[in-house]
Amino acid sequence: MTLIEPSWDEARVAAANLANLVRLQATEIVPINQSSNRVLAIAAKSLVELPTYITSAMDGYAVAGNGPWNLIGEIKAGSPFQGRLEPGQALGIATGAVIPEGAFGILRWENATVNGNQISGETSEEKDFRPAGEEAKLNEVLIEKGTTLTPAMVGLLAASGYDEIEVAKRPTVGLLLLGDEIQLSGLPKDGLVRDSLGPQLPIWLENLGCQVLQVEYISDQLDLTISAIDKASKQFDILVTTGGTADGPRDFLHSAIAKLNGVIHVDKVAVRPGHPQLLAMVNGKPLIGLPGNPQSAVVALLTLGAPLINTILGKPNLPLPVISSDDLFEAQSGFTRLVLGTLDKGHFKIGKYLGSAMLRSLAHADGFAVCTNPPTTLRWLGLPL
């Protein structure tokens, strides 16, 4: 069943549900140092205790029994002492080095008095011992499934014993830009407009977790549109088109989908900007139809594309956070309006250039304030930067 002009929230739910039906999700194993920005396909458990050994939290001396102590050597990080420390003995120790068997405590170097090989000072039992497993126990979940890995998470996984990790495969995308008015380089002339979607949409899609393998420009002709969609749907996991989503005389996307026996699941969304957008299935592959205006295209990508892609990758579609603002917002009755701007500590400041064909505010924004009519709480939709 086609949803015709559903609410913005309904359209996002429909996109996520369509991804569940498509079942494109697959996984792959990648080296740990190549896993940043990838979506974790498992709940990653620690393969060892962290720290793995009882180590010193400070530079100083590992001492046994009562002082003063006789300095018998030094322990470096990565070179454990072979043997047992006997009462009255001390070993110089570096931060992170393994504490020897028999040690009573750590005497920090700044608290120690050194006279030749004699060390004196005060410490206490297990002082500055860093226990094994203090940070994580063996098999403790460190990072939940569906998390996009950050550099720090990659470091944590490496420290806990991973050489490689299972992540969601990035869905492949074929991007088709429809229209005769696009100029690909140079200054626009003769009524043409300089292409801004071809350069930016692949980056947005990559930031959402996809792998864009084709960017193709298609003239406004029904047969060319049909052929391009049919071919791309057999090569890629997801199709993204721009333009042709309205009902004008040169808008062929609906007709092309029908000719290919595709099914439109969402046709237009009650949102401004971005209203003439659609979500369809063609040859078993999802097709995200974005409007041709630049800001509208980005809104549509976040409306239908983000929930679909998140679900394919196994990422959660979380509720949008509530924000505040001193600015006034108006939305068309029965519509959601997405307003570009910046967010600082939960407080939103509206952008200046908000037209659906404008890029200036988008270039300096963090995301969109989401407002509705009738009004509800103001919410935040961040850009995938």
3-class state of residue 152 by DSSP? helix
pTM, rounded to two decimals:
0.89
3-class state of residue 232 by DSSP? helix
For residues 7 and 179, what is the distance between their CA atoms, to the nearest angstrom? 28
pLDDT of residue 93: 96
pLDDT of residue 25: 67
Tens digits of residue pLDDT in 101-137 = 999 999 999 999 999 999 999 999 999 999 999 999 9
Q: What are the structural domains of the chain? A: 3-26+170-313 (3.40.980.10), 31-49+138-168 (3.90.105.10), 55-130 (2.170.190.11), 324-382 (no CATH)
For residues 383 and 371, what is the distance between their CA atoms, to the nearest angstrom? 16
Strands 172-178 and 211-218: parallel
3-class state of residue 377 by DSSP? coil
Helix (H) or strand (E) holding 8: helix 8-22
3-class state of residue 320 by DSSP? coil
- Give which of 203, 193, 259, 263 is closest to 228, Cα–Cα: 259
pLDDT of residue 247: 87
pLDDT of residue 23: 65
Residue 213, Cα to own-chain centre: how many angstroms? 20
For residues 188 and 313, what is the distance between their CA atoms, to the nearest angstrom? 39
pLDDT of residue 375: 86
- Give which of 130, 131, 136, 188 is closest to 161, Cα–Cα: 136
Chunked in runs of 10, what are the mean pLDDT values of the chain (385 residues)?
95 95 84 97 96 94 95 91 95 95 96 94 95 95 97 97 97 94 87 91 97 96 96 97 90 96 97 97 96 95 98 95 93 95 96 88 95 92 96
pLDDT of residue 167: 98
